[in-house]
Amino acid sequence: MMTHNISVHVVDSRECTTSKGLFGVLSKTFEFPDYFGFNWNALDECLSDLEWLQSYSGWLLVFMNSEYLLINESVQILETLFDVLNTIGNEWSEPRDIGLQHAEIARSFHSVFHVDHKSYQACLDRFAKADNYKIFQHL
């Protein structure tokens, strides 16, 4: 889906209850290359590149049903995901040479976490434990 040249990627977190599931879903939704290694370093590398999706001015990753996101993993694994997403967002916000007459442009990469209102507090508490950036503690 594309809106205002933003590539929107919606994933169902019920398919992302483990790291393996998350890697598979993100690989499919972002159309990662065949060399994607289904690990955290490979995820960081592919999301930092997105060479095959360069025509967009930014990306929005929406996690639906976030109360299930990495629910079968430790808090440290959830923390790793937040670290990767934060790093990717920061990297894309810096201008970079995209090869078009050496133009330097910054792009956006944002993540949104949707949660059912009945699961909101439990999800927020779990996310806050894994949040080095204290983002979820202000909601």
Q: Which residue ranges form the domains of the chain, and what is each CATH number?
A: 2-138 (3.40.50.300)
Strand 58-64 vs strand 6-12: parallel, antiparallel, or unpaired? Answer: parallel
User: Is a pLDDT exceeding 70 seen at residue 77?
Assistant: yes
Give the Cα separation of 20 and 37 in Å (integer).
Answer: 11
Q: Is 134 left (phi over 0), alpha (psi -120 to 50) or beta?
A: left
**The token pair that represents 99 in the structure block:** 């090869």
Average pLDDT over residues 78-89: 94
CA-to-CA dists, residue 115 to 23, 31, 95, 111, 124, angstroms: 20, 25, 33, 13, 9
User: Is a pLDDT exceeding 70 seen at residue 2?
Assistant: no
Residue 107 pLDDT class (50, 70, 90 cuts): confident
State pLDDT tens for residues 7-51. 999 999 999 999 999 999 999 999 999 999 999 999 999 999 887
